[in-house]
Amino acid sequence: MGTVVKLNFINNSNDSNNSQIVVFQKNVSTGYDELAVAWTVIQNCGVGDNHPFTYPLDMTVSASDSYGNFTPQLLAYPGQAFEVKLDRSGDVLALADSPSASPKDVEVRNSLTQGSINACVYRDGKLLSTKTNIVPLEKAVFQFKPTIWIGVAAEIEEGEVMDSAILSLINTEISLLGVASADIVMTGGGAGATSKPYTFKLMNVRNL
């Protein structure tokens, strides 16, 4: 078990709409055009309430094939590459013989002769990012900065791919580099002319 950042969301806002709070990461690998996944969704967290959650630095990868099979999750580090290949038992996900093209990337390659695959990255056991319909000899590339994005959303489920309209409304990026634990405090909101934008600030930070 690697390092785990302990986070605590605190609702100090004037929100009266019981808004959902969504936390996600963006895949920053070059040329990646997939939309972000709602990694953590905080619901029914009333004014004055708090919601603890964890951000492990470790992440895992898995894959599914065109036959509807899902592989176990494998621990993945930047610089590693994995491949889906056919062995005597069927399609399997295994560490590739060669590393990823960039030491910052995690790659999932389709080494099958036929059939597409989907590649998924998980953090804390929850879906973080996905790339679908990877054809043979192609690959998915994942890279994440040590930052999270957080914002107010509506009608979003954890593990769901968010559309660009939702993503465009969320512009708070919080760096977790060197952080061991911290509060994420939400303020703002309200009704009518006194309404203010929601803001999220990292407070009570304890460093690694």
Helix or strand or coil: residue 193? helix
- What is the tally of structural domains in the chain? 2
pLDDT at 20 over 60: yes
**What CATH number should be reported for the domain holding residue 158?**
2.60.40
29-35: Cβ within 8 A, 24+ apart? 29/102, 29/105, 29/141, 29/142, 29/143, 30/141, 31/141, 32/131, 32/141, 32/142, 34/129, 34/130, 34/131, 34/132, 34/161, 35/161, 35/162, 35/163, 35/164, 35/167
Per the prediction, the chain carries an average pLDDT of 94
Backbone angles phi, psi at 32, to 5 degrees: -85, 125
Whether 97 and 129 map to the same domain: the answer is yes
Whether 67 and 130 map to the same domain: the answer is yes
pLDDT single digits (tens) 97-121:
999 999 999 999 999 999 999 999 9
Out of 94, 113, 142, a domain closes at: 142
For the segment 137-144, the average pLDDT, to the nearest whole number, is: 96
Q: Which domain holds residue 90?
A: 59-142
Whether 81 and 103 map to the same domain: the answer is yes
Helix or strand or coil: residue 155? coil
pLDDT at 187 over 90: yes
Whether 156 and 195 map to the same domain: the answer is yes
